[in-house]
Amino acid sequence: MKRLPIYLTFLFSSSISIAAENLMTIAEQSNFQKTGRYDEVEILCRNFQKNYPKLVRCQEFGRTPEGRPILALIATKTNAFTPYLAKEKHIPVTLIQGGIHAGEIDGKDAGFLVLREMLDNAAAKDTLDKQVFIFIPVFNVDGHERFGRWNRPNQRGPEEMGWRTTAQNYNLNRDYVKADTVEMQSMLRLINQWDPLISVDLHVTDGAKFEHDISIQVEPLHAGDEGLKAAGKKLQENVLADLAKTGSLPQPFYMSFEKEDDPVSGFVDSVPPPRFSHGYFQLRNRFGILVETHSWKNYATRVRITKNTISSILEQVAQYGNEWEKIATDADSRSIKMAGTAIPVTYKTTDKSHLINFRGYAYTRKPSDISGALMTRYDESQPQIWQVKLRDEIIPDTYISLPQAGYLIPASYARIVIQKLRVHGIQFQTLTTAVNNLAIQRFSTTKATLSPQSTESHQTLQLQGEWTADQASFGKGSLFVPAAQPKAALVAALFEPQAPDALVRWGFFNNAFEKKEYMEAYVAEDVAREQLAANPELRAVFEKKLKDDAEFAKNPQARLEFFARRHSSWDQRYQQYPVVKTNTFPK
């Protein structure tokens, strides 16, 4: 068995206390060649509470589809072991999760090490005096137990690890908005209860080979509330500086080339959509941090770097948490006032770039006789400085206008939507009486495009169109979601068709865009002739369209539909997005 370098052995053994016998991980015992199965997490969770009964609680907050408990360790020296006490005492909450992709399991073993050291005052001293630390060793528990040697072929160690997706083959780091899975629903309930100031998602990256060992991305920084963006920048800079002091080579962007497998193409920073963890929390006016260690570093090194990262984040919260809590509370107040204003729902990276020195390796790019593609091969014995482009100027792209009042969902779709509102902790009300002839804005769809294949079990839908003025009535049981609330940006993310993870984009309303009634072609022919004979202006419009639109002219179905749409039998609800906006509060 390979032995650790002396400095790593010292690092990992320095925290061993009188409780070490039953708190040491299999990773430590194997010199970081292995990681434990989930029964180890269950045992350690109980043992931490047993050994530190005044400082740690082991809590189950959900069950997986295969019946396994999803566990969290809640650690603090403030005695605030309930969300109510944490809020009453104004104590910041930091949530750190490992194993959302269960093959990328550094966070589990690093988190247990940090927790033990903090409890023994061997590292990150006094940080638990100023916060509640919620540690979730493994989020994707069923995936963790799909254990195997080659579950991560692009990663060095441990010898065996879990699987990327859940037992139902969901990628949990695509599920934050749509919340399909019981795992994510459980996580969001925990988040609603505790309202963490900072949520940290621990990963291992894929990609090329280079010397840099970790990236730290924070939002709000490029997106979100302006006050929080400034704090997010400070948080990121401080963590990067702490890591650099320990010998790491951290970067503030995800280290994936703009063009796959091509180092010359450089890097592009971006704002993630809210299906991802660090794109989601900025919509709640809280911080999300994505940590990505480099997959080609060995397991001991990656665990050490992750451990240093967790310590740094907790120390930042201990120092600045109360200040950042106030900024977050102020951001909530600002969000309540956003009703009736324009806000961005997507961002883009401009073409502006600058050169950076990036520590890579010598490499060759030659055509492969196996794949036929141009293939990059790295020589890790020859470090090399790459001077490459970095595009990191990020600006708002798509803006939407929040309604002055809110969004209305008809009773027929209430069951679908109410589940999502509750799981995200969004304010809404159910109409107890009908509302008639209310002035609204309806999304007029000009084009609806379904994806040719499913994504995360959904056939996604892309809509083109615009909001137009209309009137509508809503029956008892319809839902009203006010725009004036702390999670206003999250409300827009759910209901605006141009938002990248809107419910309509994920296909929750696809039935409204399927044609269920039709006119036989021979009937449509007769209807067309009647309309043309009765309306010379319509004949002129039809003939012009035949002349100007070649695709229309050669499509018999489109030509007949031109007339069917003008007939009283046409389904006026076809391709009608059920959710509407209103500037008038329903009474």
d(CA 82, CA 372): 59
> Alpha helices of 367-477 — where are they, by DSSP H?
414-424
Task: Judge whether residue 384 has pLDDT over 90.
Answer: yes
Interval 101-139: pLDDT, tens: 999 999 999 999 999 999 998 777 899 999 999 999 999
How high is the pLDDT of residue 3? 44
How high is the pLDDT of residue 15? 40
Average pLDDT for residues 402-417, to the nearest whole number? 98
How high is the pLDDT of residue 21? 57
Backbone angles phi, psi at 59, to 5 degrees: -130, 130
Pick from 18-32, 352-366, 565-579: least confident: 18-32
d(CA 209, CA 211): 7
Average pLDDT for residues 170-184, to the nearest whole number? 98
Average pLDDT for residues 205-219, to the nearest whole number? 95
d(CA 460, CA 30): 45
d(CA 484, CA 478): 19
Q: Is 175 exposed, middle or buried (0-12, 13-18, 19+ CB in 10 A)?
A: buried
pTM of the model: 0.93
Looking at this protein, which amino acid is placed at residue 100? I
Asked whether 487 and 225 are in contact (CB, 8 A), the reply is no
How high is the pLDDT of residue 49? 97
Looking at this protein, which amino acid is placed at residue 403? P
Helix (H, G, I), strand (E, B) or coil at 13: helix
| Among 131, 292, 286, CA closest to 201 | 292
Task: Judge whether residue 531 has pLDDT over 80.
Answer: yes
Dig out the tokens for 366 from the structure.
Answer: 């030659």
Interval 312-349: pLDDT, tens: 999 999 999 999 999 999 999 999 999 999 999 999 99
d(CA 238, CA 270): 20
Asked whether 33 and 58 are in contact (CB, 8 A), the reply is no
Dig out the tokens for 80 from the structure.
Answer: 């605030």
How high is the pLDDT of residue 9? 45
Q: Is 493 exposed, middle or buried (0-12, 13-18, 19+ CB in 10 A)?
A: buried
